[in-house]
Structure 1
Amino acid sequence: MWKGRFSKATADLVQQYGESISYDWRLYPYDILGSIAHARGQVRAGILSEDEFSQIESGLREIENEISEGHFDFSIENEDIHMNIEA
């Protein structure tokens, strides 16, 4: 996420201090529902087509299944549940 802002890699200690994925992964169902609702709002605003929305929703549901089945690879580099899902 921060790669474009800094010229050096984040120090491991800083990364460990700032991560929250070790406990906020439990919020994945709510984060996914929020992302689906946001995409639906973009359809209503004329930003996304129904087809684009369907693709986004399908991808998010696939990620939801991977997480619930224990097959999703969380990354500390992505800090939190939202960034892990979006990555």
Structure 2
Amino acid sequence: MLWFLFIEVMACGICHIISKDGIQADPSKIQAMVDWPQPASITMLRGFLGLTGFYRKFIKNYAAIATPLTNLLKKDAFLWSPDAETAFQAL
């Protein structure tokens, strides 16, 4: 039991909770994703994709869902669309 407590404390520093029940996302990071404002710039979008990408193993079909957002990172392509909004809300 003590070993799991040690791992859990250490894992919080890397944004995962590891316990006898398995690996879970840090609830504070999930809340940060939920509270993230709609990106108004490429910089904001990169930040959002960086945060969500860190947790991609917890998000089924992450790459397919994020495609409309990653397409906005192309040169002169940042134009928020309904597809981008749908992807943003899904993540």
Q: TM-score, normalised by structure 1?
A: 0.34
Structure in which a larger fraction of residues adopt helix? 1
User: Of the two structures, which has the highest relative contact order with CA contacts closer than 8 Å and spacing of 6 or more?
Assistant: 1
Q: TM-score, normalised by structure 2?
A: 0.33
